[in-house]
Amino acid sequence: MQSTSNNYVVIMAGGIGSRFWPMSRNNQPKQFLDVLQSGKSLLQLTFDRFAKFIPTENIYIVTNENYRTIAEAQLPNISKSQFLFEPSRKNTAPCVAYACHYIAHLNPKANIVIAASDHYIVKEKVFVEVVEKALLHVATHNHLLTLGIRPTRPDTGYGYIQFVEESNETGIHKVKTFTEKPNFELAVQFINSGEFLWNSGMFVWNVNTILNAIHQHMPDIYEAFKGYEKVIGTKDESKFLDKAYSICPNTSIDFGVMEKASNVRVIPSNFGWSDVGTWTSLYSLREHDYHGNAVNGKQVMLYDAANNMIHVPDNKLVVIQGLEEYIIIDTPDVLLICAKDQEQKIKDFTIDIKRNKGEKFL
């Protein structure tokens, strides 16, 4: 039995979930909401999933300084030192660099899982097996490992990973290419080829492997965190992080490292994954009525309506006629009605709203 003392998890929970607007707001984004109606937030579900096989003291939460109060309130039973607060949003590369430098200071032998706070996993037993296999691999191999999901449809909302069929070790393959969200025609080609997986955004690596990769491929970010270990736990830590983030580029770890490194590997996986990143992804997880409507709201009346995602207050009577394949979200101050096949524009809507209406509705 492998010792788990060197195994760590970093849960990234600093995003604002703009594709999940208007339920997800700047002051309370989706990772802190019970969007699955399970009685727990997405962050709490993610923590619980890993706590089943990773020592709880080895699970770290990286989130924005603005969410300090809500994050600590949702996970009251872990040490305050397990929360790492970012002074600003600079995408996932600075987030990974920050967390991995911090953990390297604690344990230079650490093997680390990087996970988002908003993923939904159906087959948790299979998920645990895949992650444990990945942790075992990176402990003895200088590889940057990612978990790829066998696609079930030509989804244009996900990135794709092309992999080499031959594998040196059972089920672990060399990565050929990464492709960011393709158009529908290209996604269909990817699915038909059998060579592509969805990019789950979950990574597993030894701390030295990733820090070396950041040094090689993102030297500006590596330099920004140089000397960080000397100020951890001191009064100068906050000032150091402010400066480091001010000079870090706004870059994803996918673009900054994974797409450039030659030692990237992937495990094709099938554990019932969804990133719960959009209303359509939530629609696929909800129960549907006879006409394919996913309804959250106790006073909804539907006429000639089918395949809609509906989320409205329980105390409001909502009558919908003639709509098919729509997203209908009603909150106390915002009503969103958007075609499901246009939901990628929701992020654009929030940019326009900020420009024309300010922050009030965000």
Domain ranges of the chain: 7-275, 280-357
Determine what percent of the chain is predicted with pLDDT higher than 90.
Answer: 67
- Dist. CA 291–CA 307, nearest whole Å: 6
For residues 142-169, average pLDDT:
82
Confidence of residue 331 (pLDDT cuts 50, 70, 90): very high
Q: Looking at the DSSP assignment, which residues form a beta bridge with residue 309?
A: 294, 327
Does residue 122 register a pLDDT over 60? yes
For 37-73, how does the pLDDT look when each residue is reduced to its tens digit (9 = 90+)?
889 999 999 999 999 999 999 999 999 999 999 999 9
Phi and psi at residue 62, to the nearest 5°: -105, 120
pLDDT of 350 strictly over 50: yes
pLDDT band at 302 (very low <50, low <70, confident <90, very high): very high
Q: Peptide bond preceding 332: is omega within 30 degrees of 0, i.e. cis? A: no
Question: At residue 148, does pLDDT exceed 60?
Answer: yes
The confidence band for 2, taking pLDDT boundaries of 50, 70 and 90, is: low
In whole angstroms, how large is the CA radius of gyration of the chain? 21
Region of residue 332 (left: phi > 0; alpha: psi -120 to 50; beta: else): alpha
State the average pLDDT for the chain: 91
Q: Which two tokens stand for residue 225?
A: 């965190």
Enclosing H/E stretch for 319: strand 318-321
Give the pLDDT confidence score for residue 198 in this predicted structure.
86
Least confident piece of the model among 44-58, 163-177, 269-283, 310-324: 163-177
What digits encode the pLDDT tens for the residues 179-235?
Answer: 888 788 888 888 888 788 888 889 999 999 999 999 999 999 999 999 999 999 999
Tell me the whole-structure pTM to 2 decimals: 0.92
| Residue 203 parent element (H or E) | strand 196-206
Determine which of 5-14, 99-108, 178-187, 218-227 has the lowest per-residue pLDDT on average. Answer: 178-187
Residue 281 has pLDDT above 90, yes or no: no
More confident residue, 177 or 248: 248
Q: What is the pLDDT of residue 3?
A: 61
- CA–CA distance, 221 with 343 (Å, rounded to integer): 33
- Inter-CA distances, 235 with 162, 167, 231, 240, Å: 46, 48, 8, 10
| Rounded Cα distance, 179 and 181, in Å | 7
CA-based nearest residue to 142, from 168, 163, 105, 166? 168
At 9 the pLDDT is 96
pLDDT tens by residue, 257-277: 988 988 989 988 888 888 888
Contact status, residue 266 vs residue 154, Cβ threshold 8 Å: no
Where does the pLDDT of residue 169 fall: very low under 50, low under 70, confident under 90, or very high at 90 and above? low
Domain 7-275, CATH number (from 2.60.40.10, 3.30.9.10, 3.90.550.10, 3.40.50.12140): 3.90.550.10
Mapped onto helix, strand or coil, the DSSP state of residue 274 is strand
Q: Which segment of 100-104, 107-111, 114-118, 194-198 scores lowest on mean pLDDT?
A: 194-198
221: DSSP letter? H
Measured in degrees and rounded to the nearest 5, phi and psi for residue 332 equal -55, -30
pLDDT of the residue at 291: 96
- Per-residue pLDDT, 1: 43
